[in-house]
């Protein structure tokens, strides 16, 4: 079973999305009205009003199984309820909606993030890992075909530094936040042009350049940082967007670059602040310096960790020598 999930600042957009897709069908939930996005948004906001510090008040998850497998509405609802329990989403408003607009049989879950019984937000630490574990457990419990965890093939897992950042600040690190954003948007669009538009609206700029004769390098610029597609995971490369996210795009490299150059030219004609087309043997402006700075920071962090480990080993040796001398 495949699982995608993200946390949102407001429930209205995602409620409208899951309810207005072609052939969308509500199969369960615990709210007063399950088919009105405005009522759903109001109830989730109200349930989270007990916490003034909760910025991301909505949880959105999609669960899917590979074709040709299809489940009944009742079985999907049981799976959704168990998934919420495994993720720690007890005593909160939620709705489960089934979609039939893709080959993959799948459902969407929209829920609040404030536990009314405990009086505090649902923890978000290690969310991606917990979601994968929950999916593997549900596969066993319901006899579903097993799926390779997404961190093995699609998405790079969070680093220790990212996990510490989320734990210490309560805010998502930039890289997983970007991954979540791309995952969320790719679940709503079908073409590369639509994806580029939606990412731009969300504050993400794409940069493309040819690498060799058959490969196109894709870079994401978000909140002042640059991430190559391979840094995010294979599902975020151009080929990965086609294979894992179902995003349609030109197949040939020259056709992709033709599309990219036309898009940049259209942006300039409309007076948009688009990055200018770069010569094919150069990076978009600023990427070299940003990546170099990132490499320096990573190298510095690694050097600090190596020095700390060396100092710890020396202290252990000194303690052992002291004990031997005492004996």
Mean pLDDT on 45-58 = 87
Question: Of the segments 106-110, 145-149, 287-291, which one has the largest average pLDDT value?
Answer: 106-110
CA 266 from centroid of its chain's CA atoms: 29
What is the reported pLDDT for 150? 52
Whole-angstrom distance, CA of residue 24 vs CA of residue 86: 25
CB atoms under 10 Å from CB of 94, counted, come to 23
pLDDT-derived band of residue 243, with 50, 70 and 90 as boundaries? confident
Whole-angstrom distance, CA of residue 87 vs CA of residue 218: 33
What percent of the chain shows pLDDT beyond 90?
A: 36
CB atoms under 10 Å from CB of 154, counted, come to 21
Mean pLDDT on 102-114 = 90
Given a cut of 90, whether residue 83 has pLDDT beyond it is: yes
Given a cut of 90, whether residue 25 has pLDDT beyond it is: yes
Pair type for strands 215-222 and 105-112: unpaired
CB atoms under 10 Å from CB of 132, counted, come to 21
Non-local CB neighbours of 46 within 8 Å, separated by 6+ positions: none
- pLDDT-wise least confident of 34-38, 240-244, 281-285: 281-285
Nearest Cα to Cα of residue 201 among 181, 225, 174, 230:
181
Given a cut of 90, whether residue 199 has pLDDT beyond it is: yes
CA 231 vs CA 159, 183, 186, 226, 235: distances in Å:
11, 15, 18, 10, 10
Mean pLDDT on 284-292 = 52
Does 133 or 161 have the greater pLDDT score? 133
Provide the whole-model pTM.
0.51
Start-to-end Cα distance in the chain: 60
Nearest Cα to Cα of residue 124 among 173, 63, 181, 188:
173
Does 6 or 316 have the greater pLDDT score? 6
Whole-angstrom distance, CA of residue 106 vs CA of residue 267: 36
What is the reported pLDDT for 296? 59
Non-local CB neighbours of 133 within 8 Å, separated by 6+ positions: 86
Whole-angstrom distance, CA of residue 147 vs CA of residue 65: 9
What is the reported pLDDT for 108? 95
Nearest Cα to Cα of residue 277 among 212, 210, 228:
210
Does 22 or 158 have the greater pLDDT score? 22
Phi-psi region of 224 (alpha: psi -120 to 50; beta: other; left: phi over 0): left
Does 272 or 166 have the greater pLDDT score? 166
Could you tell me which residues are beta bridge partners of residue 204?
222
Whole-angstrom distance, CA of residue 51 vs CA of residue 314: 47
Given a cut of 80, whether residue 197 has pLDDT beyond it is: yes
What is the reported pLDDT for 274? 42
pLDDT-derived band of residue 283, with 50, 70 and 90 as boundaries? very low
User: In sequence order, which ranges of 29-126 are alpha helices (DSSP H)?
Assistant: 37-47, 73-86
The chain-wide mean pLDDT, for the chain, equals: 82
What percent of the chain shows pLDDT beyond 70?
A: 79
Condensed to tens digits (0 to 9), the pLDDT of residues 269-280 reads: 555 444 444 444
Nearest Cα to Cα of residue 135 among 301, 249, 4, 240:
4
Element (H, E) at 28: strand 25-29
What is the reported pLDDT for 61? 92
What is the reported pLDDT for 124? 77
What is the reported pLDDT for 188? 83
DSSP labels for 144-161?
PPP---GGGTT-PPPPHH
pLDDT-derived band of residue 80, with 50, 70 and 90 as boundaries? very high
Q: Is the peptide bond before 68 cis (omega within 30 degrees of 0)?
A: yes
Condensed to tens digits (0 to 9), the pLDDT of residues 206-240 reads: 999 888 777 888 999 999 999 999 889 888 999 88
| Max intra-chain CA distance, the chain | 83
């Amino acid at each position: 079973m495949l699982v995608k999930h993200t946390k949102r600042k407001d429930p209205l957009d995602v409620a409208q999305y899951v309810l207005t897709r072609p052939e969308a069908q509500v199969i369960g939930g615990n709210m007063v009205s399950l088919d009105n996005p405005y009522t759903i948004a109001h109830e989730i906001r109200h349930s989270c009003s007990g916490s003034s510090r909760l910025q991301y008040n909505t949880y959105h998850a999609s669960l899917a199984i590979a074709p040709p497998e299809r489940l009944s509405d009742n079985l999907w609802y049981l799976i959704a309820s168990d998934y919420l329990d495994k993720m720690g989403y007890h005593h909160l408003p939620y709705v489960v909606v089934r979609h039939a607009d893709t080959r993959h049989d799948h459902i969407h879950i929209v829920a609040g993030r404030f536990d009314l019984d405990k009086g505090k937000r649902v923890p978000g630490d290690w969310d991606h890992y917990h979601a994968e574990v929950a999916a593997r457990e549900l596969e066993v419990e319901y006899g579903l075909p097993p799926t390779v965890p997404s961190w093995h093939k699609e998405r790079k897992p969070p680093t220790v530094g990212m996990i510490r950042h989320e734990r210490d600040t309560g805010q998502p690190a930039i890289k997983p936040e970007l991954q979540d954003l791309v995952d969320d948007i790719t679940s709503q669009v079908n073409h590369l042009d639509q994806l580029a538009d939606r990412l731009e609206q969300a504050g993400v700029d794409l940069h493309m350049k040819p690498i060799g004769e058959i490969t196109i390098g894709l870079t994401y610029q978000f909140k002042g940082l640059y991430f190559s597609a391979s840094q995010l995971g294979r599902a975020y490369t151009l080929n990965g967007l086609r294979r894992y996210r179902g995003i349609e795009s030109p197949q040939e490299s020259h056709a992709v670059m033709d599309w990219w150059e036309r898009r940049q030219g259209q942006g300039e004609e409309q007076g948009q602040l688009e990055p200018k087309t770069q010569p094919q043997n150069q990076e978009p402006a600023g990427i070299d310096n940003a990546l170099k700075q990132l490499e320096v920071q990573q190298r510095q962090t690694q050097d600090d960790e190596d020095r700390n480990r060396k100092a710890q080993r020396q202290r252990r040796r000194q303690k052992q020598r002291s004990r031997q001398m005492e004996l």
